Amino acid sequence: MLRTDFSDDAAWHAACAASSAPSPEGFAAGLSFVSELRFAGLTIEEVVVMASSPRRNFVFVVDGVTIRDSEAPILAIDLRREPGRWFRVVPARMWSVEVNLSLANMDFSDFADNVDSDGVFRGFS
């Protein structure tokens, strides 16, 4: 999970804790947290260029929206099939997105196509 907004350290730490917390069933996202000032203010396009590698299919970003919004929706960006396609995910559902994408149980589009009207994935209906 890449930090691009450095305006609120407490909000960053809260997003990290909430997104890595296990589900009631015990599933947890396998996340690494990157907080380096050199990534401040990166756009989606810049993240795609910077994060693209043969080993990465997606990346999560804590940006200004995450920091300011009460739900702290984290930006998920596709790096492989449709580079730059994105949606947001509430921290409580991060485990579902990360685990299923990492295991290739589901595609990025399975989540991106099931967001609420505001572009945020809160789970499958």
3-class SS string, the chain: CEECCCCCHHHHHHHHHHHHCCCCCCCCCCCCCECCHHHCCCCHHHHHHHHCECCECEEEEECHHHHHCCCCCEEEEECCCCCCCEEEECHHHHHHHHHHHHCCCCCHHHHHCCCCCCCEECCCC
Q: What is the CATH number of domain 2-121?
A: 3.40.50.800
The pLDDT value recorded for residue 107 is 97
pLDDT at 54: 73
pTM as predicted:
0.95
Percent of the chain with pLDDT over 70: 100
Give, in degrees to the nearest 5, the angle at Cα 68 between 49 and 21. 80
Domain boundaries, the chain: 2-121
Q: What average pLDDT score do residues 81-94 get? A: 97
pLDDT in tens, 42-71: 999 999 999 877 788 999 999 999 999 999
- The pLDDT score that the predictor gives to residue 125 is 81
pLDDT at 52: 76
- Is residue 101 pLDDT above 90, yes or no? yes
pLDDT of 121 reads 98
